[in-house]
Structure 1
Amino acid sequence: MSTWTTLRPLLPTVFVPSAVFGIGQGAGSPVIALTARDLGASVGTAGLVVALVGLGAVLGDLPAGRVVARFGERRSIIAGSLIGTFGVLLSLVAWTPAVLALGALLTGVSNAVWGLARQSYLAEVVPSEMRARAMATFALMWRLGFLIGPFAGALVILAIGTRGGFAVQLAGVIVSGYLMARVPDPPRTHDAPAGGVPLSTILRRHRHLLATLGTGSLLMGAARAAREAALPLWADHIGLDAASASLVFGIGAACDLLCSYPAGQLMDRYGRRFIAVPSLVIIAVSYFALPWSHDIRTIGVVAVVMGIGNGFGNGVIMTLGADIAPPATRAEFLAAWRLTHDFGMFAGPLVAGAAATVVTLGLAISALGLVSISGAAVMYRYIPRFAPAPGRSAPTPVRT
C-alpha cells in the first residue's frame, strides 16, 4: 500500500484544515503592523503588537496540554477555534492599539491550542513508520496555505481596506475549525491519568530530556524564525525596494515548500537526526553568507539556500515530539515540548533585532549562524539513534 493511500483519509480531516488555517494566518499576519500604524502606534509599538502573536503561542502552550488531555482533541479544536475567532474579531474591529494587541495575543493562544490538538491527533492515529511523512505533509499544507494567504488577503483588501486581511483570517479560523471538529477523538490505547498532569510535573519528570534535546528544539526554533527578520532587514540594508525584497522572500518560500515532503520521507527512512542536523547546518551557511550578498541576485541565492534548509526542517520538531512523548501523558508532554520550540520562535526575531542595535547588522546575522550551528550540534548529540527494523525501511529507536 502506498504512502498516499495510507495518509489519504487524513486529507479532509487534517491536511485540508491545516491549509485553510494557513491561508487565514497568511492573510492576517501582514496587516497586523499596518493596522497598528493606522491606529496611531509607533513603529516600535507596531512591532511589539506583531510579537504578541508569538507570545500568545508561548502562553497558550502552558495550559494546552491539560486541555487536550482532559477534553480530547475535538473539543480542544472547538475551544481553540472559538478563542481564535474572538481574537481575530477584536483585531478586525480594533479601535485602539491596545485592543489590537489583545486580539493578537488571543490569536497566538488559539494557535497553540489548535496546533497541539492536531499534533496529538496525528501522533495517535498515524503508524510510527509513517509519522515523519504525516507531520511533514501537515507542515507542508500549512505553509502552502500561508503562501496563498497574502494573495487572498490582497484581493479582499482591495475591496474593503487594510482590515480585509483579518476578514480572510476570520473565515480561515472558522472553516478549518469546523472541518476538524467533525472528526471524533481517536480511541486511546493507554490509560491516561484522570484530569491530566500539571505542566510543572511534566517539566520536573522530563527535565533532563527537555534541558538537552529541548535546548536543540529551542535553538532550531530561534534559527528558523529569525530568518523572517534577517532576510528583509538585509534586503533593506543593501537598498532593495519592498517589491524586490518580497520577491526574494517568495523564492525562498517556494524552495521551502518543495523540500518539505521529501524531508518527511527521508526522516522515516533514515531517522530524525539525518534531516535535523543538515537542516540547521544549511541554515547556518545561509546566515554566514547573507552579509556577503550585495544585490538581488546574490541575496536571491542565499534565500534559496535558506529556504532549502528551512524546508528540510519542516516536521522535525513535531515528529521528534511524537517519538519521545510518553503515551499516557502524550498531550501534556507535547505541550512542554512545543513550549521549547515556540519560545525559540518568539525569541529568535527579537534577539536578532536587539543584536542589530548593539553591533552591525552583518555581525548580528552571523551570530544567528552560530545559533544554528549550536542547534545542529545539540541535535546531533541528543536525538536518539535509529536503525531500520527487519523487513521495512522505516526506523525504530535505538537506545543511546
Structure 2
Amino acid sequence: MVYLPTLLFSLGEGAVVPLIPVIAASRGATLASAGLIASALVVGQLCGNIPAGWLVARAGERITMVIAGSVSLIGVVGSALAPSLALFSVAVFVVGMSAAAFGLARHAFMTTRVPVQFRARALSLLGGSFRAGMFVGPFLAAALLSLFHTETAALWFFVVCLAALILLVLFGPDPETQAAPAEHESIPTEDTGEAVTGSIPLRQSQAPGTGVFRTMWRNRGVLSRLGLAAASLSAVRSARQVVLPLWGVSIGLDASSIALVVGVSGAIDFALFYASGQVMDRFGRLWAALPAMVLMGSGFLVLSFTHDADTKVLWFGMIAAVLGVGNGLSSGILLTLGADVAPQNEPAAFLGSWRTLTDAGGAAAPLVFSGIAAISSLALGAVAMGVIGVVGAIGFLRYIPRFVPRPPAQ
C-alpha cells in the first residue's frame, strides 16, 4: 500500500512519456512543436507542486492521491481522444499537474510516518519504485506498439494502471491509519539558521491559518540555500538524459549503440538506489549527496574534453557509466532532504515549495544545455553542466551540516 501505487503510476507514465512527441507528430505537429507539447508534462508538474501542497495539507494524503489519480485518468483519456493538438497539450499538462499532486502526497506520508533512523532507506525505496516504473515502462510501450500497432495503446495502458491505483487506494488498507506517526524532536517554525533536528508531525498539529506562501517566506533561508543546492542536483540528473544521446550522435554513433550506452547507464543507476539509502542512514546525507555531485560534475567536465579524442567512443561509454553511478548514489536524496528540513507547522506547503525548486532545476538544465550547444558547442554545454555540479557539491558541503542532523546511531 505504500510502494505499489507509486509503481503503478510510474509504470503508466514511463510507458507514455517517450511516446508523447511521437503521438503529437502523428497528429500533425512539427518536430519543434512536438517537443514543446512533450514539455507540457514538466510544466504541469512545476505548476502543480504548490497547489498540491495546499491540497495535501487540507484533504490528506489518501484523498489527494485519489483526486490526483482521477484527474490524471481524465487527462490520459483526453490525450487518447483529443481531436486537436491544443487539447492534446492541455491533457498532457493536466497529467503533469496530477503527477505532482500524487508524488507530493506520497512524499508527505513517508515524511510523517517513517522514523528518522531509516527514513533515507524508505525514501530511496520510494524513489526506486518510481525509477523501476520509468525503467520498465518504455519496454512495455514497445511491446504494446508491436502488439497493437498504435501509439495510443500506451495511453490506454496508463488508464488501466490509474484505474487499478484508484481502486487500490480507495479499497485497500489505509496506511495513514495503520502506520503510527513517527516521534520526532520539536523543531523551530522560523528559519533561525540552526540545524533542523526533526521531521513532521500529523496535520492536526499544524498551526491553523499558516498558508503556502507564508510557509515559503518563513523557510526562505533553507529554501534559498539547501533548496538551490538540491535544484542543482536535479539539474545535472536531467542533463544526463539530454547530453548523452546528443553526444553520441555528435561523435557518430548509430541509434542502437547510443541506446545501449544509455541503457547500461540507466541500469547502473537503478541498481544503486537502495545503496544510497543505506549510506545516508548510516553515515549521513552528505556522504551520498557529495560523491554523487562530484561524480556527475566531474563526469561532464571530463566529457567536454573527449569529443575529438581518438578514443572518444570509449570515453563516452566510461563517462556514461560514471554518470549512472553518480545518479544512483543520489537516489532518494531530494526526497530525504526535503523530509529532513520540512517545518513542523505546514509540512505539505513546504514540500510543495521544495519540489517546485527541484523540478525547476530539472526542467531548466536541458534548456540551458541546448541553448549553449546551439550558440556554441556541445562541449561548452557539457562544461556548463559540470560547473553546475561542482557548485552544487559546494552547496551541499556547506549547507547539509548546517540544516540537516546526522542520523541517530543504528
The 1-side partners of 2:50 and 2:406 are apart by: 34
Alignment match, 2:215: 202
Alignment match, 1:36: 24
The 2-side partners of 1:178 and 1:374 are apart by: 45
Of the three residues 48, 52, 66, the one matched with 1:64 is 52
CA distances 1:237-296 after superposition (whole Å, capped 9, x unpaired)? 112222221111110111001111011001001111111111111111221232315655
8 Å contact kept, 2:338–2:354? yes
8 Å contact kept, 2:50–2:349? no
- Asked whether 1:308 is paired with 2:297, we answer no
1:24 is paired with a residue whose SS is helix
CA distances 1:25-84 after superposition (whole Å, capped 9, x unpaired)? 110011001011111111111111111111111100121111001000010001110121
Q: What amino acid does structure 2 have at the position aligned with 1:244?
A: S
1:310: how far off?
A: 0.5
The 1-side partners of 2:121 and 2:169 are apart by: 20
Alignment match, 2:264: 251
Of the three residues 206, 209, 216, the one matched with 1:192 is 206
The 2-side partners of 1:325 and 1:298 are apart by: 41
Of the three residues 169, 176, 179, the one matched with 2:158 is 169
Q: What is the number of residues matched between the two proteins?
A: 378
CA distances 1:156-202 after superposition (whole Å, capped 9, x unpaired)? 112331222222222222323433343433566451234x6322111
Q: What amino acid does structure 1 have at the position aligned with 2:353?
A: A
CA distances 1:303-333 after superposition (whole Å, capped 9, x unpaired)? 1111110111110011011111123311111
Alignment match, 2:191: none
Normalised by the size of structure 1, how large is the TM-score? Answer: 0.90
1:388: how far off?
A: 5.6
Alignment match, 2:187: none
Deviates more, 1:238-247 or 1:267-276: 238-247
Q: What amino acid does structure 2 have at the position aligned with 1:121?
A: F
- Asked whether 1:280 is paired with 2:293, we answer yes
Alignment match, 1:289: 302
Of the three residues 84, 106, 109, the one matched with 1:96 is 84
Q: What amino acid does structure 1 have at the position aligned with 2:232?
A: L
The 2-side partners of 1:386 and 1:198 are apart by: 26
Alignment CA distance shift 1:178-1:249 (3 Å): farther
8 Å contact kept, 1:287–1:365? yes
Alignment match, 1:137: 125
Of the three residues 130, 136, 141, the one matched with 1:153 is 141
Q: What amino acid does structure 1 have at the position aligned with 2:274?
A: Y
Alignment of 1:220-239 (within 5 A): 220-239=233-252
1:327 is paired with a residue whose SS is coil
Of the three residues 310, 330, 347, the one matched with 2:347 is 330
2:2 is paired with a residue whose SS is helix
8 Å contact kept, 1:56–1:105? yes
Alignment match, 2:372: 355
CA distances 1:204-259 after superposition (whole Å, capped 9, x unpaired)? 11111111111111111111111111111111111222222111111011100111
Unaligned runs of 5+ in 1: 1-12, 394-400
The 2-side partners of 1:179 and 1:304 are apart by: 37
The 1-side partners of 2:6 and 2:30 are apart by: 33
1:197 is paired with a residue whose SS is coil
Alignment CA distance shift 1:288-1:163 (3 Å): same
1:95: how far off?
A: 2.7
8 Å contact kept, 1:284–1:372? yes
Alignment CA distance shift 1:177-1:217 (3 Å): farther
The 2-side partners of 1:353 and 1:81 are apart by: 33
8 Å contact kept, 2:124–2:332? yes
The 2-side partners of 1:268 and 1:81 are apart by: 32
1:103: how far off?
A: 1.6
8 Å contact kept, 1:14–1:180? no
The 1-side partners of 2:406 and 2:229 are apart by: 21
Q: What amino acid does structure 2 have at the position aligned with 1:73?
A: E
1:15: how far off?
A: 1.7
Identity score, percent? 33
Q: What amino acid does structure 1 have at the position aligned with 2:294?
A: V
Alignment match, 2:283: 270
Alignment match, 1:22: 10
Deviates more, 1:169-178 or 1:363-372: 169-178
The 2-side partners of 1:175 and 1:201 are apart by: 37
- Asked whether 1:318 is paired with 2:331, we answer no
